[in-house]
Amino acid sequence: MDLPVPQGSNASQSHVVGDTAWQHLGTRRAWVVDLAVRLLGVPLGVVVGGVGVAVLPGPGWVSAILIVLFFIAGVYGVCRQVYGVRRALRVRRVLRTYSWQVYEWGLPHSFGRRNSGLGGRPWFKLPDPENPGSSVPVYLDVNRRNRWWLERMAPQAGREAKADIQRLWFAGDPRFRGVLAVPGGRGPRRMLEVPAGAGSRSRVAPPGNASPEALTRALEAGVRLPELAIPAVEAGRAPVVPVAAPPAGPALAFPATRRSMRLRLFRGAVLLVAAPMPFLWLFSLGPWHASSAKGLGLVLVATVIPAFKRLRSSFILRRTLRSRGTPWRTLDVEVRHRGRALVLVTGNEALRTQLALRRLPAGRAQVWFVGDIYGRGVVSLRGDGVVMPVRCTEHGRPVTKPEAAVSGERPRTRRWGPVG
C-alpha cells in the first residue's frame, strides 16, 4: 500500500504523512526484509558453499583450500554484518522519531563536481526545517552500498533511470540524520541513511539555528550531540537529590573522604596483583613454544597496563588533594546517564565520571566537588564524602588570545624561542 498523496503538491512544497514513519505498515515490512537479508545472507552463502565443496568431486587439497577460503569469507561477512545491523538499528530509531515527507518532484541533487562550492561528493538538497527558505545539503559516499543511487544521479543517466528518483520520501532532520527512500508498491524501497558516515559514535556539531525541540528529537533519533549543546533542564527546578553543606577544612581531612580514598587505593592494588595471576599460572604449566609465550606475554602486558594506570591515577589524585588542601564545595549539576557512566553538566562544563555503580536519577542534583573544574577532580554524588573521579570533557570557557594575535602583529621568534 502506497502512502496517500494530496492533490496539487509540487517540488517546492512537501507534505507530511502520519505521526512517525514507523506507523506505516509498508515501512516496517521494508525494514524487516532489509534486516533479514543482512542477517541471513552470509550464513546461507557459507552453508551453500560448504555443501558444494562436500558434494562436488575433486582432489583433497582443492577442497581444503576452498574450505579455508569460505572460512575467511565467512569471517569477513560477519564483520560486515555487524556494521549492517548497527546501521539498520540507527535507521529504525530515525523512523520511530520522524514522519515521512513526500517530495513529488524530487529534490535538487548533483553527482558532485570538484569545482562546485559543495565539494566533489554527490549530494541532495533538502529544505531547512527551521528556515524553509534555505536548504541543507546531505552527502552520499561513493561506495558499492550507494551504487543504485549514484547510477541515477550521474549526468549520463538515462531518462528512465532519472525517473526512479523523481519522487522521494525523506524521514528525519537533514541537519543531523535522516532516511531517504523511493516509493514502491507496498512501501519504501532503497532506504538510505543520510548524511552518509554519521555513525553512532561520531558526534554531530549542532547548527546555530537548531531549536531545543529539534535537538531533543535528534537525541531521540540516536544522534550524538555535544553535552553542552543539549537543552538543559530548567535551572529553577528543585534538585532531585539535595545534599547537606560540605564540611570546612581540606577535603582529605574529612574522615569519610580519607577512608574512601584508602579503599580506592586498596582496590587498585589488589587488581594490579590479581591481574597477572592467571597468566603466571599458565606460564608455570610450560614449556611453551616461543610464539605462544610471546602471545601470552602480550596479553599479560595488555591486562596489567590498565590496572597500573588506574592505581597510578588514584595516587596522583590523592597527592593532589593532599598538596592543595582544597575543601569540598557544593556544585549544582544536571545528571545525565551515558551507559554506566554519568555526565554532570554545570552549564559551562560537562564532567564525565567513570563507571558508576551508585547511580543518581537523571535531572537536577547537588554534588560535592573538589579539584580543577577544567581538568580532573573528584565528586561525592551523595554528599557523604565517598569520592568518584571525574574529568572535564567539554567546557565553554573563552580562550584568551595573545596580544600579538589580537593586534594582528606577527610575533618575532628566533630558533631557540621568542625574542624578548
Q: Which pLDDT score is estimated for 406? A: 41
Please tell me the predicted confidence (pLDDT) of residue 95: 92
Query: pTM for the complete prediction?
Result: 0.69
DSSP for 153-213?
A: HSTT--HHHHHTTSSEEEEEETTTEEEEEEE-SSSEEEEEEESTT--SSSBPPPPTT--HH
The mean pLDDT value for 108-128 works out to: 71
User: Contact, 205 vs 226, CB < 8 A?
Assistant: yes
340-368 pLDDT, tens digit each: 788 888 878 888 887 766 677 888 888 88
Strand partners, 16: 101
- Gap between the Cα atoms of 175 and 130, Å rounded: 10
290-325, pLDDT tens digit by residue?
666 667 777 788 888 888 888 888 888 888 778 777
Residue with cell 569545482: 115
> What is the DSSP secondary structure assignment for residue 14, as one 8-state letter?
-
Per-residue confidence (pLDDT) for residue 403, from 0 to 100:
44
Q: Around Cβ 17, how many Cβ atoms within 10 Å?
A: 18
Lowest-confidence segment of 58-72, 220-234, 259-273, 339-353 by average pLDDT: 58-72
Residues 74-112: pLDDT tens digits? 777 777 788 888 889 999 999 999 999 888 887 888 776
Q: Is the pLDDT of residue 241 over 70?
A: no
What is the average per-residue pLDDT within 174-199? 81
Q: Which cell is 221 given?
A: 533519533
Query: What DSSP letter does each residue of 286-348 carry, written as one string?
Result: ----HHHHHHHHHHHHHHHHHHHHHHHHHHHHHHHHHHH-PPPEEEEEEEEEETTEEEEE-SS
Q: How far is CA 401 from the centre of its chain?
A: 32
- Of 320-324, 327-331, 390-394, minimum mean pLDDT range: 320-324
Residue 119's pLDDT band (boundaries 50, 70, 90)?
A: low
Domain boundaries, the chain: 1-225, 237-246+328-410, 251-324
Q: What is the pLDDT of residue 199?
A: 46
Cell of 398: 573563552
Integer Cα distance of 346 and 45 in angstroms: 53
- Which pLDDT does position 319 carry in this prediction? 82
| CA nearest to 166, candidates 281, 394, 11, 321 | 11
Which range, 232-236, 248-252, 401-405, has the best average confidence (pLDDT)? 248-252
pLDDT score of 115 more than 50: no
